[in-house]
């Protein structure tokens, strides 16, 4: 009785975390996605300088499997429940260096390039294409090299991002093998942590007043072949 009252209170105040991104393709939860530290509590990363901002892991433990896909196709990434906070979905790829294993590589260095981010619709309030969705099609660029990659899913919840540290990052990394690729090594890659600053305009932002008329996605531009 008491504990359920606390759960309700937590939900009403929005203090509890809310979703994970545990699955890709036809797999099961945390099979091809590395088990994130929030797998039980649905929590979020609040500090952009934390090591957890990369894959929401403290240990870089590999997944038990990888999902193979073809360059130029797309991968479906799933959340465990509908995304309901306002804010952008974003996806990044990082290629596992030759000679290293996708099961143990930790994603260190300026190796991440963005393959997707969403923009809101502007009006009397911002609305986001991701709201209510629990599956997301991630485009795998046709020109990138074949090989293994980490695919990083991120939803940045900005409902209380008007003060520094208020944005909530829901993150996980899937292991994917890409076949049929080209020879392009995307430019301007970034590191995690490092890609974001707490004062980035898309991270420190009050979406309630005044209602923004533009939104700058955190991180680099989306890579296009
Ligand atoms: C999966 O992708 C990797 C990386 O491109 C490749 O080496 C491997 O042969 C692929 N596996 C299958 C079953 O196609
Ligand atoms: Cu929440």
pLDDT for 168-196, tens place per residue?
Answer: 999 999 999 999 999 999 999 999 999 99
User: How far apart are the CA of 198 and the centre of ligand 1, in A?
Assistant: 38
Choose one of 105, 177, 182 to mutate for the ligand 1 pocket test, by most ligand atoms within 8 angstroms of C-beta: 177
Is the C-beta atom of 146 inside 6 A of ligand 1? yes
What pLDDT is attached to residue 90? 99
What pLDDT is attached to residue 16? 57
What pLDDT is attached to residue 28? 98
What pLDDT is attached to residue 6? 41
d(CA 140, CA 51): 25
User: How far apart are the CA of 65 and the centre of ligand 1, in A?
Assistant: 12
d(CA 100, CA 67): 17
**CATH topology assigned to domain 18-179:** Coagulation Factor XIII; Chain A, domain 1 (2.70.50)
Is the C-beta atom of 148 inside 6 A of ligand 1? yes
pLDDT for 80-112, tens place per residue?
Answer: 999 999 999 999 999 999 999 999 999 999 999
Tell me whether residue 158 is exposed, middle or buried, using C-beta atoms within 10 angstroms of its C-beta: 0 to 12, 13 to 18, 19 or more: buried
Share of the chain above pLDDT 90, in %: 92
Q: Is the pLDDT of residue 165 over 60?
A: yes
What pLDDT is attached to residue 7? 43
What pLDDT is attached to residue 45? 97
Ligand nearest to the CA of 18: 2
Q: Which atom of ligand 1 is nearest to the CA of 177?
A: 2
User: Average pLDDT for residues 39-59, to the nearest whole number?
Assistant: 97
Ligand nearest to the CA of 148: 1
In the chain, what are the domain boundaries? 18-179
Q: Whose CA is nearest to atom 5 of ligand 1?
A: 147
pTM of the model: 0.93
pLDDT for 126-153, tens place per residue?
Answer: 999 999 999 999 999 999 999 999 999 9
User: How far apart are the CA of 52 and the centre of ligand 1, in A?
Assistant: 28
Higher per-residue confidence, 53 vs 12: 53
């Amino acid at each position: 009785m008491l504990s359920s009252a606390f759960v309700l209170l937590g939900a009403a105040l929005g203090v509890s975390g809310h979703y994970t991104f545990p699955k890709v393709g036809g797999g099961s939860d945390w099979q091809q996605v590395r088990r994130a530290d929030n797998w039980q509590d649905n929590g979020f990363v609040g500090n952009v300088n934390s090591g957890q901002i990369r894959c929401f892991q403290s240990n870089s433990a590999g997944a038990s499997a990888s999902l193979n896909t073809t360059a130029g196709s797309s991968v479906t990434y799933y959340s465990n429940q509908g995304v309901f906070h306002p804010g952008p979905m974003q996806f990044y790829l990082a290629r596992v260096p030759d000679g290293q294993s996708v099961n143990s590589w930790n994603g260190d260095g300026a190796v991440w390039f963005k393959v997707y981010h969403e923009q809101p619709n502007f009006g009397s309030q911002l609305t986001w294409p991701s709201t209510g969705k629990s599956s997301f099609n991630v485009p795998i660029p046709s020109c990138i090299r074949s090989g293994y990659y980490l695919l990083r899913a991120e939803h940045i919840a900005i409902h209380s991002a008007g003060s520094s540290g208020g944005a909530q990052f829901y993150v996980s990394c899937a292991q994917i093998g890409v076949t049929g690729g080209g020879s392009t090594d995307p430019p301007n890659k970034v590191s995690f942590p490092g890609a974001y600053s707490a004062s980035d305009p898309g991270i420190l932002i009050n979406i309630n007043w005044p209602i923004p008329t533009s939104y700058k996605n955190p991180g680099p531009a989306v890579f296009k072949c």
